[in-house]
Amino acid sequence: MLVILVAFFIYQGGLATSPAFAYDNSTFPDFVSSEESRQFAWLSIHPDDERWLITECTDRIDKGLNRCFLFIYNIKTQAYQRFDLPGAYSYSQGQFSPTGKQILATRIPLPKDDSHQEATRVAGEAQILLMSVDGEQLRTIEVPNARLRAPTMSPDGAKIAYWSAAKIRPEGSKTFMTDFDLYEHDLRNGTNQLFSGQFHFFLVGRFQYKNQNQIVADADGILDPTKTGLSYSERFKFSSVYCFDRSVTAVQDPCLVEVPHARNPSLDAAGNLYLGGQHDKYGISLFRISTGGQVKSWRTPKFSYTGISFQTASSSGRYLGFIYSSAHSSRGRYRNALGHFDFSSERWIPMSLPAPESAEILRTAY
């Protein structure tokens, strides 16, 4: 009789595993950090949930030359594939379009040496790359020469928004680029213009269109003396999430103050919003704010180092993919690994990917 009951519960859950239990926020969830020491820099999840577009930087492909590549990881088959792109560039911030039919990324020429001067030069020659999901129809988008980050396509596929930085910081600074603003390229007529006001953010991260005329972004350090200081930050619960409306030039305030220390926003196709933040009782947590305004949270694992540095939700709302620090490098910088949170089973799952040099080559037309 016991066997029959267990089988019934497994069947009802739709999983060939033990039945799920209610998520317990009072304790740290089970999670065994990977022992990998990699340099993952960005990820995007295809609408089919299976294909994950990953930016990985490594010197294991071109010995002695550390540069960044675009990979496809299949979470179902565990196949790891690398796009065969022109070798004179380093590629980063690969992002699927909303339909999953296209891929956006940035690329910069490979520097001639390790000097700050050379890094400054190649940063100013950044390009936005657009190709079909199979690597065909590869082309660059005609935007003004600039220091570019995080190109993202609008829901209707007609526009591409991107961060553009106005300044390079002095050698030895903790950050490299600063004074970021959101620009938008219209694929139909080739024009480029500011999405909203010129706000000059000190740091920026991932962003996403909420709809055709709104963008939700991770940003910090707006260049405005009336919007800085501890009292201002406390007023908005230290949120680094901004909600931009098209063509609004007035200085913006952080949004989504329902979640203290809100950061790393992403949206699923239904409009539910996912954030990292600080729960007043359980500490660092993952939050989901539904389209109806309901807030739910899941306490994050106790990571050995600095925790989650990047996260993105799948358009289906089933997965949250994330990058977390897993080790120190020999130069004192953090190395990292990948993981995901499965909302259907409410489990935090580490991911161990094949070696980058073993990835199957995906031929592209260029």
For 337-352, how does the pLDDT look when each residue is reduced to its tens digit (9 = 90+)?
A: 999 999 999 999 999 9
Tell me the percentage of the chain whose pLDDT exceeds 90: 80
* Dihedral angle sign, alpha carbons of residues 121, 175, 91, 358: positive
pLDDT band at 331 (very low <50, low <70, confident <90, very high): low
Q: Among the listed ranges 2-6, 143-147, 361-365, which one has the minimum average pLDDT value?
A: 2-6
Q: Please, which pLDDT band fits residue 21 given cuts at 50, 70 and 90?
A: low
In whole angstroms, give the CA distance from residue 144 to residue 163. Answer: 12
Contacts of 333 (CB under 8 A, 6+ apart): none
Given a cut of 80, whether residue 303 has pLDDT beyond it is yes
In a domain, 26, yes or no: no
Check whether 235 has a pLDDT greater than 50: yes
In a domain, 128, yes or no: yes
**Mean pLDDT, residues 134-152 taken together:** 93
Segments forming the whole domain that contains residue 317: 39-363
274 neighbors 295 (Cβ within 8 angstroms): no
Q: 131-137 long-range CB contacts below 8 Å, 24 or more apart?
A: 131/102, 131/103, 131/364, 132/101, 132/102, 132/103, 133/46, 133/51, 133/96, 133/100, 133/101, 133/102, 133/103, 134/362, 135/83, 135/84, 135/85, 135/362, 135/363, 135/364, 135/365, 136/364, 136/365, 137/365
- On whether residue 88 sits in a domain, the answer given is yes
Predicted local confidence at residue 19, as pLDDT: 43
Give buried/exposed letters for 128-155 (b at 16+ CB in 10 A, else e): bbbbebebeebeebebeebbbbbbbbbe
Q: Kindly state whether residue 9 falls inside one of the protein's structural domains.
A: no
Residue 365 confidence class, pLDDT cut points 50, 70, 90:
low
Q: Which residues contact 305 (CB under 8 A, 6 or more apart)?
A: 324, 325, 326, 327, 328, 334
Q: What is the pLDDT of residue 293?
A: 93
How far, in whole angstroms, is CA 284 from its chain's centroid? Answer: 18
Whether the predicted pLDDT of 228 surpasses 90: no
For 176-208, the pLDDT digits (tens) are 999 999 999 999 999 999 999 999 999 999 999
Structure tokens at 200: 């000059």
Whose CA is closest to 311, among 301, 323, 327?
323
Closest among 330, 335, 277, 278 to 304, alpha carbons compared? 335
Query: 344 with 318: CB under 8 angstroms?
Result: yes
Domain assignment of residue 294, yes or no: yes
Interatomic CA distance for residues 342 and 323, integer angstroms: 15
* pLDDT confidence band for 14 (50 / 70 / 90): very low
Q: Over 50: is that where the pLDDT of 50 sits?
A: yes
Q: Between these two residues, 329 and 314, which has the higher pLDDT value?
A: 314
Confidence of residue 131 (pLDDT cuts 50, 70, 90): very high
CATH number for the domain spanning 193: value is 2.120.10.30
In a domain, 31, yes or no: no
Q: What stretches of the chain show up as alpha helix (H) in DSSP?
A: 2-13, 116-123, 230-235
Q: Is residue 279 part of a domain?
A: yes
Asked whether the predicted pLDDT for residue 8 surpasses 60, the reply is no
Total of domains in the chain: 1
Q: What is the spatial order of strands in the sheet that 273-279 belongs to? A: 263-267, 273-279, 283-289, 295-299
Q: How far apart are CA 324 and CA 109, in angstroms?
A: 27
Angle at 180 between CA 141 and CA 183, to 5 degrees: 40
Gap between the Cα atoms of 327 and 337, Å rounded: 9
Answer whether residue 300 is part of any domain: yes
